[in-house]
Structure 1
Amino acid sequence: MEQRKLHEKSKKKEKFLSHTQNIEFTKSEEEDFQETTFEEETEDTSERGLKNLENIEFNPEVDIISKRKIGFQIVKVKDGDIYEYELINFTNNNRAYEELKKILKTFPWFENIKKERLYALASDKRTAKSNIIISKELTFNYSIKLPNGDVMPISSLKPPKGRFENIDLEINREFRVNFIYENHHYINSLKKGSLGKFENIEEFIGEFLIAIANFSGKSDNWTREKFREIKEYFDKSSIVRDTLQEYMKFFQEV
């Protein structure tokens, strides 16, 4: 009798281990945990499974596990000698499509679109933290796929409800909405070699703004005001700092 119980316990353990070998954990929001059913699970194997889960670390802000289907995808296209990000719509929801297209105007063609740069970038009419509005009723059904293959739920493009917002995210949103979005056409027309010489981030920001002003006809006062503003964004936000350093590296490599 005792040998039979030991044999059954051994078979259950083997069955559990064979299942766990097929579980794939991923940081992509769209690829959820593969569902596995354990019949007649013992306390020993349950604890083992919990320990496996405890070893998986997720950033609660940008690595949200989601079962929403991919409704939209961001791709980079070229029209003549102009590159630009465009949005592919896999749904019949044109309202969401038009609202999400505004997001792309906060990213110039030479910038890599990353989840942390998109997080909390938009608002709804309730929060009114941005003039890039995503309707509340449209955010819970779909995810969006980024050019690097990452997937994030559309709801994470807005600040979490009822939470004190991280200053890093707030400044990133201001930088993109108040500067990149408003000057997207001019910034997107810049190419390697179109800036003057620079050796550090302050010089780069100055040359970057001068190139935009020359292209758009903006005044010297605008250049000076924007320099102070963007330098402050750079000093206070690690997201903006990482972004501007990426811009500088791009224009340095001629």
Structure 2
Amino acid sequence: MGRNPVPRRTERRCAMKRALATITLAGLLTAALVSPSKAEPMSISGEQDIGALMRTAGEIYDLENEDAVFLFKGRKEYWTPDGRRITMMHRITWLRTEYAINRYADLRIPWDSAHQTFRKTALRTWRDNKWIVSGPTAVVETLPFAVDRADDYTNMRETMLLHDGIELPCIIETAYVIEDVEPYRDGASGVWTFPRGEPAVMVSFTLGVPAGSVPHYAVHGDIPRPVKGSDEERGLDTYTFTMNQVNALPRPRTDEMIREVPRVTWSTW
């Protein structure tokens, strides 16, 4: 005969204790990250006050029931006067669960090594009141697994960005730039959607075009008007769209819902 099974009531009681302990620990650690008495981390660019963003996240979201929160998620698409595309991605993410680590802490970014350069600008973890910067081994260049034997894709590369020093909960910052080496295309276009799989405190999209030219974009949804600026070094006018307190896309995701998602469609054609 086997061992006597543990009564279901006892199993439930143990499960509840484990869950309560997890929630309590998460709450204490989250409070430590939010506490104004701690050092206030700034983003790699110095433009985002991560401490303030984290406090806002604690005020507007139930952090104990979120896998992750995007404190900041931004993309810049620049089309230079000589006809080159520059894409800049920047994300600051608060992580609470293993699911969030698997989804957001280890990234795979495809790019074209024959026509583009890839440059990491931030890969670090905020924990225990300090930044833990990922080392050289955290950046791995490989072939995209789906095309590693396809002759037509010999120029394609996939760079893996792996965050070191992760213990839950924590904050990670990831930023990189993909830039055309020289002009090789007639134009570029794309779509930036503001809601994503997790809630966000701030989401931003910037379109940069040669100074004095007319930007081509279409806005769908309740998105504030863009703020015009400039990148004098590159000779660009910039148009930045920003949304605050952006809820996650609900599930299940229907075609009708996707059509109504706030987004910016842009083109240089």
TM-score by length of 2: 0.23
Which structure shows the higher helix fraction?
1
Of structures 1 and 2, the one scoring higher in RCO (CA 8 A, sep 6+) is 2
Which structure shows the higher strand fraction?
2
